[in-house]
Structure 1
Amino acid sequence: MERYKNQVSDLIARYRHRVDYLAVRLEKSQGCEIRLRGDVPEALSEGVAIGGQVRACYQGGWGFASFNRLGDLPERMEDAIAAARLVGNDTTRLAPIDIIQTTCTLPLTGTDPRNVSLADKKALCHHYIDVIKGQHPEIASTTVRYEDSYQQVLIATSEGTLIEQNWTDLEMRFSATARQGEKVQTGRETVGSRRAYEDVLGLEEQVKAAGDRAVNALTLPPAKGGIYTVVIDPILSGLFVHEAFGHLSEADMIYENPELLETMSLGRRFGPKALQIFDGAAPAGHRGSYLYDDEGTPATTTQLIKDGVLTGRLHSRETAGELGEMPTGNARCLSYHYSPLVRMTNTWIERGDTPVADLFSGIDEGIYARNWIGGETNGELFTFTAGEAWMIREGEIAEPVQDVTLSGNVFSTLANIEAIGDDFYWDESGGCGKGGQSGLAVGCGGPSLRIRDVVIGGEGE
């Protein structure tokens, strides 16, 4: 990237007088993908991609152009500027940030996956296929997916920002489908890291659990649908805070939607006094961690809910400017093909002070749910399917059940949190989707939670 800095800066200086704001993002990525279905490779590739994007803003209107030939940068700059001038008819409001010129790398703690051969990575995937199958003849199909990527990004703006940032990301996904007559059940596990290749080694117990859950679920009774007090584990807590609440905190969904802006008004109480929710890329070592976002804004930690009250939201420079608030460093794009959007980074519920065993006390009949195999959200409504579940009877974990879905309204669910456990777990397996950009690395975390009046779907008698 070093040899392009002067060229990009010179071009920005030549064109910046035609717009209010001009930014160039160049990217070089190197990666590997392996997909096995059973022992059969469906994908086996290594590749390098180089490209870039130009964003221009004029009188509040944005123009965007992407390219994969760096020699096309002057033409694409003309395209982005022309588009911005065509649609702009208001005022450009970008919250100010410090001008920064730096080069930085998110450090690895162990082996760089680029130094591991494709053959060794493929052998690891075959090994995990064998682990999933185990001794279970009921497992009809297995899949393993491995991906790693190294990204170098250069961000240059008409304000003078010039940042080069580099990082490495890994992810592995495992699934097992078991069949017994007409019954079919699936178990899944996902692991992600921005630290080292060693983080995808030694996963035998976790991988085996995906196959075990699929087979065990074939003979479990379904849960009886109804309204229960539930206890959810930290993985489900992390999924809930990301999917059900986190997206509603993204300010690009708020500032153009008066109804949602009123609902998500700062100072409104959403949960008990013990509830604390955060998002931020500043905590090091997680999937959603970085030093600067894709607009050059430094990473921060934003407290979204403090003592049960809404106190913050996630911003790009534009949304912060429109709402008169501070930018939070949450403008992110999946690659140079896409314009940055307001996105979560690492989102978590702070641990509480209730011993986990006490979360079950006093529940005559309830549900204990762990992990997840699917889910969806629609505005403030959510539905998640638990990976494992048990009945709670007279304050004790009782018989396991299957096909447990948890549904509700995020605001009433937050208000119905009765206790927050003293445990905590970071789930680094997240790949977030928004605006056509799916698979953006994020982290989720939380403690176990006890929640009353949760709608449980099930077909049991």
Structure 2
Amino acid sequence: MSDVFAEYKNLLTELIAQYSDRVDFLTIRIEQAEETNILLRTHKLETLSESIALGGQGRACYRGGWGFSAFDDLTTLSARIEEAIAAARIIGESQTTLAPVEAIQTVCHVPMTGSNPKEISLADKKSLCDRYSELLLGCDRQITTATVSYSDTSQRIIIATSEGSVIEQSWSDLEMRFSATAKKDEIIQTGRETTGSRQAYEDLTNLEPQVIGAAQRAVTALTLPKIKGGIYTVVIDPILTGLFVHEAFGHLSEADLAYENPDLLEVMSLGRRFGPPELQIFDGAVPLASEENYIHRGSYYYDDEGTPATTTQLIKDGVLVGRLHSRETAGKLGEVPTGNARCLDYHYSPIVRMTNTWIAKGSTPVKDLFRGIDRGVYARNWLGGMTNGEMFTFSAGEAWMIRNGQLAEPIKDVTLSGNVFKTLANIEAVGDDFYWDESGGCGKGGQSGLPVGCGGPSLRIKEVTIGGNSD
């Protein structure tokens, strides 16, 4: 299989030369993906599979119109390129505007710090899942259902463009998900945990504390009181901070949404203040770029258009200073491409996506975040969430009341909702802690499960709407 890449690298260059004069821009991608999937539900093995896929895509732009064709049969490569070109020439009716990038020829691999999942047998991966499943089920007799899923993907791609770039890039990504459902009489509660890695298979082999924690949260929640709904000052942990910055703010920073929506572009105007001076928000894919952005699940060297990965500051000292771009969105808005054009695999066209998104740690000791809160909520981890434009709703994995500046009784069914812009403005303090959450699988434009990283410190936020009992 490895010889395929050596063979096709020269062919892609020849095809680019053959067809590039018929369009304004042409790119061809060849991809090999090896994947493992395992799913255990209670004691039943529902999925145990390994697969190898080899295919590609052609993308052409002519007078601003894009043509796209994906294929699984490499012998049809020329025909699929013809299809993409024909579609672009039918659609195009204005002007192609792509921000410039330098042509590059390179081979790169996102480095791993431990074992590549391709080196681990399917039997060993299943044994790992069995071990975690037994831990979930053995935690308490009230656990009725336990689910363990494992997946790994190793992708190797070549991208050739009509501007002279030929980039070969590869990486491996791993993910595990755990859930436990507990039941007492008619009360049902669920605890969940998800984690992943782009660094080492060993990152998934010592997750006993997280697995047991998911089961214990489900059992404990059976007897916890529900919070009374209302407006509270809230302290959220770094995991919820990562979810918030990704889901509520990050998607609004993706420039394809902005340039197609004049109202959103006006709201997300550069130079507008969104939060306190201590608030700093970044997105970046560059491996080894800094201590905070090492290798996370959104790390790579070049995006799926061949643009070098960058670290982009989105908010500086509380003020919006940047957004995330493909070459087209950067060209249309007169800005610089940021290397955020990504696709899930060769079946999809690249669109603007986040990579690793984080809020930088602040200066407030975590214990001081609770000071002066007479009646508030401390929320940790997450169960789920949804966003609709600038509105968001997130469910906390666990929570406690804050009384007189101290943690008090645990509570359950805590949902946090609000307007992202008001919430950013209501940040009162940024903690001096920091944590990277590698559980992210982002969905957009029909491409779900794209690996991303999310990070941040604990935050103190005033006037947050908390759902719960009304009495």
TM range (shorter): over 0.9
Q: CA deviation at 1:460?
A: 6.1
2:61 to 57, 63, 73: 57
Letter in 1 for 2:156: Q
State whether residues 24 and 62 of structure 2, in contact with CA within 8 Å, keep that contact through their aligned partners in structure 1: yes
Counterpart selection for 1:204 from 178, 201, 208 = 208
Q: Could you say which residue in structure 2 is the equivalent of 1:346?
A: 356
Q: Say if 1:222 and 1:460, in contact at 8 Å, map to a contact too.
A: no
**Alignment partner for residue 274 of structure 2, among 270, 273, 292?**
270
Q: Distance in 2 between matches of 1:214 and 1:95?
A: 50
Aligned length: 461
Q: Could you say which residue in structure 2 is the equivalent of 1:187?
A: 191
Structure 2 counterpart of 1:163: 167
Residue 395 (structure 1) aligned to one of 377, 392, 405: 405
* Equivalent of 1:12 in 9, 16, 19: 16
Determine if contact 1:221/1:460 at 8 Å carries over to the other structure: no
1:388 Cα deviation (Å)?
0.3
Q: Hey, what's the Cα distance between the residues in 1 that align with 2:385 and 2:219?
A: 21
Contact 1:30 1:151 in 2 (8 A): yes
Aligned 8 A contact 2:107 2:169 in 1: yes
- Report the equivalent of 1:66: 70
Counterpart amino acid of 1:300?
A: T
CA RMSD of aligned residues (A): 0.7
The AA in structure 1 aligned to 2:254 is E
Hey, what's the Cα distance between the residues in 2 that align with 1:312 and 1:224? 39
**Structure 1 portions without partners, runs of 5+:** none
TM score, norm. by length of structure 1: 0.99
What is the aligned counterpart of 2:367 among 339, 352, 357? 357
Residue aligning to 2:113: 109
TM-score, normalization: structure 2? 0.97
Cα contact 1:354–1:420 (8 A) shared by 2: yes
2 CA distance for matches of 1:186 and 1:40? 19
| AA aligned opposite 2:271 | G
1:16-415 matches, cutoff 5 A? 16-282=20-286, 283-415=293-425
441, 449, 462: which one aligns with 1:431: 441
Dislocated runs of 4+, deviation >3 Å = none
In structure 2, how many angstroms separate the alpha carbons of the residues matched to 1:28 and 1:201? 26
Q: Distance in 1 between matches of 2:139 and 2:235?
A: 32
Whole-angstrom distance in 2 between the partners of 1:311 and 1:96:
21
SS of residue in 1 equivalent to 2:439: strand
- Partner in structure 1 of residue 467 of structure 2: 457
Please list the CA deviations of residues 155-184 of structure 1 after superposition, one character each: whole Å capped at 9, or x if unmatched.
000111000001010000000000111111
Aligned counterpart, 1:418: 428
What is the DSSP-based 3-state SS (H/G/I as helix, E as strand, rest coil) of the residue aligned with 2:440? strand
| Corresponding residue of 2:289 | none
1:406 deviation in Å? 0.1
CA distance in 1, matches of 2:139, 2:233: 37
Distance 2:68 2:99 in 1: 20
Contact 1:149–1:169 (8 Å) recurs in 2? yes
- Decide whether the 8 Å contact of 2:139 with 2:216 is kept in 1: no
Q: Contact (CA 8 Å) 2:373, 2:404: kept in 1 or not?
A: yes
Please identify, of 6-15 and 442-451, the stretch whose mean Cα deviation from structure 2 is larger.
6-15
8 Å CA contact 1:386, 1:403 repeated in 2: yes
SS of the counterpart of 1:224?
coil
Taking the aligned partners of 1:15 and 1:202, their CA distance within structure 2 comes to 51
Q: How many Å separate the matches in 1 of 2:107 and 2:457?
A: 36
Q: CA deviation at 1:459?
A: 1.5
- The answer as to whether partners of 1:24 and 1:156 remain within 8 angstroms in 2 is yes
Counterpart Cα distance in 1 of 2:406 and 2:130: 40
Q: Residues 284 and 290 of structure 1 are in contact (CA less than 8 Å); yes or no, is this contact kept in structure 2?
A: no
Contact 2:241 2:458 in 1 (8 A): yes
Which residue identity does 2:413 align to in structure 1? Answer: D
> Match of 2:424, SS?
helix
- Contact 2:42–2:137 at 8 Å: present in 1 too? no
Q: 2:470 & 2:242 partners in 1: Cα distance?
A: 28
Amino acid at match of 1:96: P
Structure 2's unaligned 5+ residue stretches are 287-292
Q: 2:396 and 2:113 mapped to 1: Cα distance? A: 33
In structure 2, the residue corresponding to 1:254 is in which secondary structure? Answer: helix
> Is the Cα contact below 8 Å between 1:134 and 1:208 reproduced in 2?
no
Structure 2: distance between partners of 1:380 and 1:212 = 34
Task: Specify the SS of the correspondent of 2:259.
Answer: coil
